[in-house]
Structures are given as structure tokens and as C-alpha cells.
Amino acid sequence: MNDLTSARAAVATRRCRDALILALFGASLALPAGSAHAAPATEQAARANPHADQAMLLGATRAGSRLVAVGDHGTIILSDDGGKTFRQARQVPVRAMLNAVSFADAKHGWAVGHRGVILATTDGGETWTLQRQDLDKDQPLFSVLFTDAQHGWACGLWSLLLRTDDGGKTWQNVSLPVPPGAKRADRNLYSLFADAKGGLFIAAEQGRVVHSRDGGANWDYLDTGYKGSLWAGAALADGTLLVGGLRGTVLRSTDGGASWARVEVHALSSITSISEWAGKVQLGALDGVSLISTDAARSFQLTQRPDRQPITAVVAHAQGSALFSKSGVLGAEPRGSEPAPGALK
């Protein structure tokens, strides 16, 4: 392959990656101050919306038995019946796009998004307060993780990594090392997750998983053998590590990330979300693809929605699972409704 062909291939790859990022995180990732779409000088509270469950929703999680989803214009919705019905949170102080949400327990949660916004709740998501924002530049946060009510991390564009040890009252920037073969740490960091042994992980660009063995004091890079972006990650109950990304890529590790094996899912839809409950692992993907495993992610059964709505988040729970998309809540799937093998058309 000559230099010109290589350059064109690199441009095409970046364009593909950027298009998929836009599909997930909205039309503006990082705009210079003073541009037509730059962040406002002051923030406004989210509006009450009787159709909040139809807003673009990009992140979701469990808060005890409650489901919480976040998305466009500061939308936060809550469900106490397994995703059958949702209501809007009473108080959200921003209209920024929210990309992810994490709860340390049933009451204490955090949501992150554009403009570097970090929100916190102490009442299970009913009301939220603003802990952090950056109105000088829009460096969005894509993921947040709290291992308990005091210790948390948030990550995002261009290797932005933040940590708190006081429940989010203060946040500190974490400087990551330069990745092998690179000149600077400028990777997009997409999905934070942790294992039961205290290990921290971030699914990132170029097939890398950023990793800390010591609670975030030091970080290194795990090479998965894959070169595309990884959008989602999770540590399963049995310790298996699972990451997913572009074109149906699913990678599995049973040795703490030292080695990775590809799991064949027979789909080319990019993986956006991973969730586990009581031995059931469920993955959401673009093009309406949903994948379910009951053997610790060794194999998956899959289906595709007729409307092909991109699944942006999936939450497995005691009653089944809930799916979310750019057009809002896609509905609840009752437990026991797993698809038949080979259902994808």
C-alpha cells in the first residue's frame, strides 16, 4: 500500500469513527469559544417535558430497583416498574446533553455530559445539583463511575480523566501516560468500569483499554489486539472482562486484561452498551441489534428490531431489561424473553 492510499484509508477510518461518535453523542463534541454553537455564558435548568421518555437517551443504569436514563437537553427519567413507565426527574439544573449515569447505591448517583457537566443526586435521581461544568470549552464527558459514595471517576474527549475522593465536592484532573507509539495522550475515553478486585478500566480508541491496578493512582494501557474504537466495557460477576466497539467487535478476557479473545456475534453493528444481571449479559448496538448471553459472554444470541432504531443503552434487571435509543425509551423486555439463536436477518 503506497503512502497516498494509506493516507486516504486513515482519513476514511477517522470519518467512519467520527460519524459513529456523532450517532451516539450528538452533533457537537468540541466547539471553540465564540463559535455560533459555543457553550452559553450561563446554564439553564432542564424544562419539564411531558414526553421526556421520547427524548434522545444516551446512558442508563440501575439505582437499586429503580432505572435511571439520561440524555438530550438535561433529560433525566426514572422508572420504578422495570421500565414499563417513566417519569421525569423533578429538578435538573442544566440543559446540556447528558451522556452517562452511575449510581453507587440506590440514592447516590452522578450524571455527566457536554460542557464538562457533572451532576449529583442524593435522593435516587429525583433532584440533581451541579458539581462541575466548563463553559470556556466544550470538552464532553462520556462516562462516569463511582465505586462507592465517595470515590468516582469521569472521562471523555482527548484523554480527559477526572477523579474525586469526596463524593464530587471537588474534582481533580488525572494526567494519563502517553500511549505506546504515540506522541501525547489524546485518546477519546468512552466507558469506565471496575472489577471486584479494585481494578479500573476505560474502553477507549484504537483498541486500547486504559487500566489501573491501584485504585487510579497509576494507569497503563492494555492492548486488546484490535485497532478500532471500543465504546463499551464491563467486568462480569465472575471476573470476566468484556469490551465492545465498532462493527460488532466483542472482546473477552479471563485474565484481568493480559490477553483478549474475540467473541463472534455474527453482526456488524457497533456495540454501544453492556449490562449484566443474574447471569444474563446483554449488549445493545446500532441498527437495533440486541445480543444476549447466558454463558458468561462466550456466545451470544441476537435479534434485530424491525425499525432498526440504534440502541444507545441497555439495562438488565430483575424483571428483564430496558432499551433506550435516540428516539427515547424502546420498551421493557420481560425476563425469559431471550431471542432464539440466529434471529438476526
- Tens digit of each residue's pLDDT (9 = 90 or more) over 149-181: 999 999 999 999 999 999 999 999 999 999 988
Q: Exposed, middle or buried, 61 (CB in 10 Å: 0-12/13-18/19+)?
A: buried
Task: Tell whether 125 and 16 lie within a shared domain.
Answer: no
What's the structural domain count of the chain? 2
CB 116 within 8 A of CB 17: no
Task: Tell whether 54 and 24 lie within a shared domain.
Answer: no
pLDDT at residue 138, rounded to an integer: 78
pLDDT at residue 320, rounded to an integer: 87
102 lies in some domain:
yes
CB 185 within 8 A of CB 175: yes
Task: Tell whether 117 and 6 lie within a shared domain.
Answer: no
Task: Tell whether 21 and 55 lie within a shared domain.
Answer: no
CA angle 176, 180, 183 (to 5 degrees): 75
299 lies in some domain:
no
Q: Tens-of-pLDDT digits for all 345 residues of the chain?
A: 444 333 333 333 343 344 445 445 443 343 333 333 344 445 799 999 999 999 999 999 999 999 999 999 999 999 999 999 999 999 999 999 999 999 999 999 999 999 999 999 999 999 999 999 998 887 999 999 999 999 999 999 999 999 999 999 999 999 999 998 889 998 999 999 999 999 999 999 999 999 999 999 999 999 999 999 999 999 999 999 999 999 999 999 999 999 999 999 999 999 999 999 999 999 999 999 999 999 999 999 999 999 999 999 999 998 889 999 999 999 777 665 444 444 333
Task: Look up the CATH number of the domain holding residue 104.
Answer: 2.130.10.10
217 lies in some domain:
no
134 lies in some domain:
yes
Task: Tell whether 20 and 80 lie within a shared domain.
Answer: no
Task: Tell whether 70 and 21 lie within a shared domain.
Answer: no
Using CA atoms, how far apart are residues 337 and 22, in angstroms rounded to an integer? 31
Domain edge (last residue) among 136, 152, 175? 175
3-class state of residue 300 by DSSP: coil
pLDDT at residue 124, rounded to an integer: 98
270 lies in some domain:
no
What are the two backbone dihedrals, phi and then psi, of residue 115, each rounded to the nearest 5 degrees? 60, 20
Task: Tell whether 119 and 17 lie within a shared domain.
Answer: no
Domain edge (last residue) among 112, 141, 175? 175
pTM beyond 0.85: the answer is yes
pLDDT at residue 11, rounded to an integer: 33
154 lies in some domain:
yes
Task: Tell whether 168 and 60 lie within a shared domain.
Answer: yes
74 lies in some domain:
yes
Helix (H) or strand (E) holding 67: strand 66-71
Structural domain for 72, as ranges: 44-175
pLDDT at residue 339, rounded to an integer: 47
